[in-house]
Amino acid sequence: MLSKSEIKLITSLKQKKYRLQHQLFAAEGKKIILELLKSKLQLHQLFTTTLEFDVPDVLQTIITPKELNRISFLKTPNTALAVFKIPKPQPIDFSKLIVALDDVRDPGNLGTIIRLCDWFGVTDLVCNLETVECYNPKVIQATMGSITRVNVSYLNLESFLSSNKASQVFGAFMDGENMFEINLPSSGILVLGNEANGISKEVASQITQRISIPRFGELQATESLNVANAAAILLSEFKRRTATET
Amino acid sequence: MLSKSEIKLITSLKQKKYRLQHQLFAAEGKKIILELLKSKLQLHQLFTTTLEFDVPDVLQTIITPKELNRISFLKTPNTALAVFKIPKPQPIDFSKLIVALDDVRDPGNLGTIIRLCDWFGVTDLVCNLETVECYNPKVIQATMGSITRVNVSYLNLESFLSSNKASQVFGAFMDGENMFEINLPSSGILVLGNEANGISKEVASQITQRISIPRFGELQATESLNVANAAAILLSEFKRRTATET
C-alpha cells in the first residue's frame, strides 16, 4: 500500500530539483534494480508488485500494478520501482583516461556514454553543469546498471580543465586531426560536446589537441556522428592504443 | 489546402503496409527534406507552411500549421512534410564491405546505423525481413539524410549469406575473437544482430568469423553494447585497417 506522501516523493524525483533536495533517485525494472542492489548504492525503498527481491522487509513495499502505474516514469511500467540514495562523487583519478562532457542534453546519449565508459574501463566521467543530470530516470534506464561503476562529477568544466595543466586535453571536433594519425596516451581528458553545437568556445580554449574521426564515405556528405557513437569510436581507439602499445 | 484523400494517404504512410502499397514514404523538417531533394529521390508531393523550397509549383502545397499537425508524425511538427517515392534497391556491390542486420527492431538504431554506413563509406546495407523497415518515419528522421546514400535491401539473410560463398562473413558476438587481433579485409559482410538476442542460430550458422569488441573495464560487468555503438566501433576498425594497410 502506497501512502500519499510516498507517491508525492517518488513522482517528484522526475525533477532534478527534487532529486537534489532529497538526494534520492528512482530506477525501474527488475534487471536494473538487481544490478543496483548488487552495488554499493544504498536502497531507500523498493516498491514491487511481486516478491522477488532479496532485501529486508522494512525496505520493501508490495504494491498493486495500479499503484505502480501511478509512480512509474515509464509508458509501460515494469514490475518494480526502487528509490536509492544518490552517492557522493568520489575523487577523480587523473592517472587514467577521463571523459568530459560539455553540454550533452539528451538523456539517452548520456546513459549510453556512461555504459560505454563502463565497457572501456573509464571510471571518471566529468560533466559541465548544463549536461543532463545522471540521475534523471531516462539516463538511469539507458545506463543499464553501468551508473554504479562510473563516477560522475558535475563541475565548471572550463575551470576544471584550466586547473589541470598536467593532463593532455583532447577535444572531438569535425576538423580536428585524424585520430588514427596521432599519439593517444593512456591518461588525459577526452572532451565531447553538445549534440547540435559541439564544444563551446570557452571549453575549446582549454583543449590542447583537437581530434576527429575520419570519414570514409566518397561523398563526404554525412553531416556528423551522434555524440554517443563518436564516444564509442574514440574510446575504442584510445583503448586499442593502450592495449597494443604497452 | 489539404484534401481528405491526401490526409488519408499521408497518415497511412506511418504503416509499412501502406508504404509498400503506395511505394511512398514521408520525411519531415526542412533540413532532411532539403537533403532528400538534392538526391536522386523522386518527390511525390511537398506540404509546407512556408514557401522556402525550390520545387515546381505543381509538387508543392501550402498548408496551415494546423493542417501540418494533422499529417505530421512528430510530437512537435516542423514547417514541412514531404512525400517521396521509394527508390528501387540497387544491385549489391560485393567488392566492398557490406553491413547486414539480423532482426534490428528499433527505428533509432537502424537510422543511426544507416548514418554510420554513410560516414564510413559502406554503400550496401542488407537487412533480414524482420528488421524494421527503413522508410519508417522514425528511421528516416534518425538517418539525417543519409538514407539517400546507402542502398538498403531487404532479403532472406540466411539464404543471402549461404549463396555468397566468396565473401568472408563476420558476425558480432559477445564471445567472438578480439577484433584487434584478427585480419579485417576491405570487403566481406559484417553481421549485427537483434538488440536483445543477438544473431539468430540460423544466421550464425553462415558466419565464418565470430568477432567481438574487447571490454576494458576491470569488473567486466557491462552486459553488452548497444547495436548502433557496436556498429560504430566495428566499422571504424574495419576502415582503419583498409586505410593503414593499403
- In percent, the amount of chain A with pLDDT more than 90 equals 86
Q: Is the pLDDT score of B76 beyond 60?
A: yes
Contact between B150 and B114 (Cβ < 8 Å): yes
| B98-156 tens-digit pLDDT | 999 999 999 999 999 999 999 999 999 999 999 999 999 999 999 988 999 999 999 99
- Give contacts of A219 with chain B, Cβ < 8 Å: 149
Mean pLDDT of B190-194: 97
| Confidence grade of residue B220 (pLDDT, cut at 50, 70, 90) | low
Mean pLDDT of B38-48: 95
Looking at chain B, which residue has its C-alpha nearest residue A143? B222
| Confidence grade of residue A25 (pLDDT, cut at 50, 70, 90) | very high
Looking at chain B, which residue has its C-alpha nearest residue A111? B226
Q: Could you give the domains of chain B?
A: 4-85 (3.30.1330.30), 97-244 (3.40.1280.10)
Mean pLDDT of B218-224: 70
- Give contacts of A149 with chain B, Cβ < 8 Å: 217, 219, 221-222
What rounded mean pLDDT belongs to chain A?
93
Q: Is the pLDDT score of A76 beyond 90?
A: no
Contact between B188 and B97 (Cβ < 8 Å): yes
d(C-alpha B203, C-alpha B34), whole Å:
38
Taking Cα atoms as reference points, which of B147, B111, B64, B120 lies closest to residue A218? B120
The whole-angstrom distance between A51's CA and the closest CA on chain B is 25
**Using the beta-carbon criterion (under 8 Å), do A118 and B217 form an inter-chain contact?**
yes
ipTM above threshold 0.85? yes
Q: Encode burial over A102-118: b for 16+ CB neighbours within 10 A, e otherwise.
A: bbbebbbbbbbbbbbbb
First and final CA of chain A: distance in angstroms? 57
C-alpha grid cell for residue B22?
503506395
- Give contacts of A118 with chain B, Cβ < 8 Å: 217, 221-222
SS3 percent helix, strand, coil of chain B, rounded to 5, is 35, 25, 40
Taking Cα atoms as reference points, which of A153, A5, A149, A148 lies closest to residue A85? A148
Q: Are strands B43-48 and B188-192 parallel, antiparallel or unpaired?
A: unpaired
pLDDT at residue number B245: 63
Give a three-class secondary structure readout of B32-82. Answer: HHHHHHHCCCCEEEEEECCCCCCCCHHHEEECCHHHHHHHCCCCCCCCEEE
**Using the beta-carbon criterion (under 8 Å), do A217 and B115 form an inter-chain contact?**
no
- Measured over the CA atoms of residue B147, residue B148, residue B150 and residue B153, the dihedral's sign is positive
| A176-234 tens-digit pLDDT | 999 999 999 999 999 999 999 999 999 999 999 999 999 987 766 667 899 999 999 99
d(C-alpha B79, C-alpha B98), whole Å:
36
**Using the beta-carbon criterion (under 8 Å), do A225 and B121 form an inter-chain contact?**
no
pLDDT at residue number A220: 63
Q: How many residues appear in chain B? A: 246
Provide the CB-side half-sphere exposure for B243 (13 A, CA): 17
Q: Using the 8-state DSSP alphabet, how is residue B146 labeled?
A: G
Size of interface A-B (CB pairs under 8 A): 101
What rounded mean pLDDT belongs to chain B?
93
Interface of A with B (CB under 8 A): 112, 115-116, 118-121, 144-146, 149, 180, 213-219, 221-223, 225-226, 228-230, 232-233, 236-237, 239-240, 242-244
d(C-alpha A115, C-alpha A110), whole Å:
9
Tell which wins on pLDDT, A221 or A23: A23
| A103-118 tens-digit pLDDT | 999 999 999 999 999 9
